[in-house]
Structure 1
Amino acid sequence: MEEHAICPWCQTEIVWDEEIGPERHCPHCENELSGYRTLQLGLEDEEELGEPAGHNQEQEDWRGGSLDGLNPEEDDLSEFIQYSREHLAFEETVEQIIDEQVEAPECPSCREYMLEAGKQTVTSSSFEPVVPAALSAPILPAPFQVVWYVCPSCFRTENKLATPDQERLVQLLTEAADGKGND
C-alpha cells in the first residue's frame, strides 16, 4: 500500500511505499520534511484587525517571551516588519521584471533568476579581437553587442553575446568549416 503526503515547502505530493518508508527530504525541493516551521509576524495593526472578544491581550514576541517588558532599543521589531514589507515589494517587482524578459538565466552563484540590465555595444576602438590561425579572421569582429544581467539576490553580473551576434558567430564558424571541407 502506498502512502501520500504533501510537502509543506513546495506543495508537491510525495508518494512512498511501506518497504522504503517515509521520506526525510522532499525529492522535488530537497527541503527537510520534518523540520517545517513557521513564523507569524503581525504586519497589520491590531486595531485594524478587529480583535475577537476574549482575545488574550498579553502578546508574545517571536522568541516566545512577553512584550510587556519590551526594551525599545533591543527588542523593537518595527524595523523587521518594515523590512518584510519592503522585501515583499522588492520580490514582487523582481518577479514582474522576470516575467517580461524573453530570457532569464540562472545566477551561477546563487541560482536565482537574473534581471536583464541592458546591452553594451563593443566597438573596435575598445576591443582587440583574437585571430586564430585556423580561421585567419577574428572570431568576433567588432562592433558587437553584449547583454548584461544582474542577480537581484547576490548582485553578481553576467554577460552574454546578443542574439544577432550569436547567429553571426555560428555562421562564421560554419562557413570556415565548410571552406576547409572543400580544400
Structure 2
Amino acid sequence: MSEKHDEPTICPWCQTEIVWDEEIGPESHCPHCENELSNYRTVQFGSELDDEEMDEEEELEDVDSWTDTGRDLSDLRPYNRDQLALEETMARILDEQLEAPECPTCREFMMEAGTQIVTQEQFQPRTPEALGEPVVSAPFQLQLYVCPSCFHAQNRLSVKDQERLVRLLTKAADLED
C-alpha cells in the first residue's frame, strides 16, 4: 500500500482536493462533503457551447417544457402568492403578540391561540415546604401557543400569573433573610 498518488484527486461534488493517507489508502467518501467518490458520473450535452450560452439555453428549454404541456408560468404563481400571503399574515399576528416563543421542535415563532382558565376543580396545587404556599394557586391562566409550521402546541403561564409567581418567590427569599 505504499502507492504514491502523483496527481491530486479532486472531489467531483465539492471541488476540494483530497489528500490520501498513505497508511489507510484511498477514501471511498470525500472527507469534506461526505459524498461517495466512486459513483460520480457526468453527462455533457452541447459541449461546443460555453457556460453562458448553456445557461441561457437551459432557461429557454425550461420555459418551453412548461408551455409545451399547455401550462404557462402563472401555474407557479399561486404557490408563491400563497406562501407570501401566509408569511405576511404570520408577521402581522406575531407583531400583535406580547410574547412570541420559539417552537422547541422546529424553531419557528409560535402564534398565541388563546387563554385557558384553570379553576380549583381542574387543578391540585403542590405546596413546597420552602414557600409554605402553592407555587401557583387556582384560578390561573395559561396562554396556548401553536406553531404554524409543525403544529406543536405549548402552554405558558399568563403574564399576570408570572408576575404573581415572581412576587411569591421574592417574598419567600425575603423571609429567609
| TM-score, length basis structure 1 | 0.56
SS at structure 2 position matched to 1:102: coil
Once the two structures are superposed, residues 28-56 of structure 1 have per-residue CA deviations (whole angstroms, 9 ceiling, x without a partner) of xxxxxxxxxxxxxxxxxxxxxxxxxxxxx
Give the CA deviation at 1:175. Answer: 1.4
Alpha-carbon separation, structure 1, partners of 2:110 and 2:62: 36
Which position in structure 2 is the counterpart of 1:124? 120
Which residue is 1:61 aligned to?
A: 62
The structure-2 alpha-carbon separation of the partners of 1:60 and 1:160, relative to structure 1 and needing over 3 Å to count, comes to: same
SS of residue paired to 2:142: strand
- What's the secondary structure of 1:61's corresponding residue? helix
One-letter amino acid of the structure 2 residue matched with residue 86 of structure 1:
D
Aligned counterparts of 2:109 and 2:152: Cα–Cα separation in 1: 11
Aligned-partner residue type, residue 134 of structure 1: A
Asked if the contact 2:118/2:142 (under 8 Å) is kept, the reply is yes
Aligned-residue CA RMSD in angstroms? 2.8
The letter for the 1-side match of 2:159 is T
Deviant stretches of 4+, over 6 Å: 75-79
What is the CA–CA distance in structure 2 between the aligned matches of 1:159 and 1:84, rounded to whole Å? 32
Deviations 1:100-130 (A, max 9, x none): 2222121122221111111111111101111
Change beyond 3 A, Cα 1:79–1:117: farther
SS in 2 for 1:149: strand
Matches within 5 A, 1:1-183: 60-61=61-62, 66-67=65-66, 69-70=68-69, 81-181=77-177
How many Å separate the matches in 2 of 1:68 and 1:167? 62
- CA–CA distance in structure 2, aligned partners of residues 79 and 129 of structure 1: 57
TM normalised by structure 2 equals 0.58
Structure-2 change in CA distance of 1:83 and 1:132 (3 Å): same
State percent identity of aligned pairs: 55
Which residue of the partner structure matches residue 15 of structure 1? none
Q: Give a deviation string over 1:51-83, Cα, whole Å, max 9, x none.
A: xxxxxxx96437xx723552x7xx898765433
Letter of the structure 2 residue corresponding to residue 106 of structure 1:
E
Q: The residue matched to 1:136 in structure 2 has which SS?
A: coil
Greater fraction of residues in helix: 2
SS in 2 for 1:146: strand
| Structure whose alpha-carbon radius of gyration is higher | 2
Secondary structure at 2:117 match in 1: strand
In the alignment, structure 2 segments of 5+ residues that lack a partner are: 1-58
Contact 1:105/1:113 (<8 A) preserved: yes
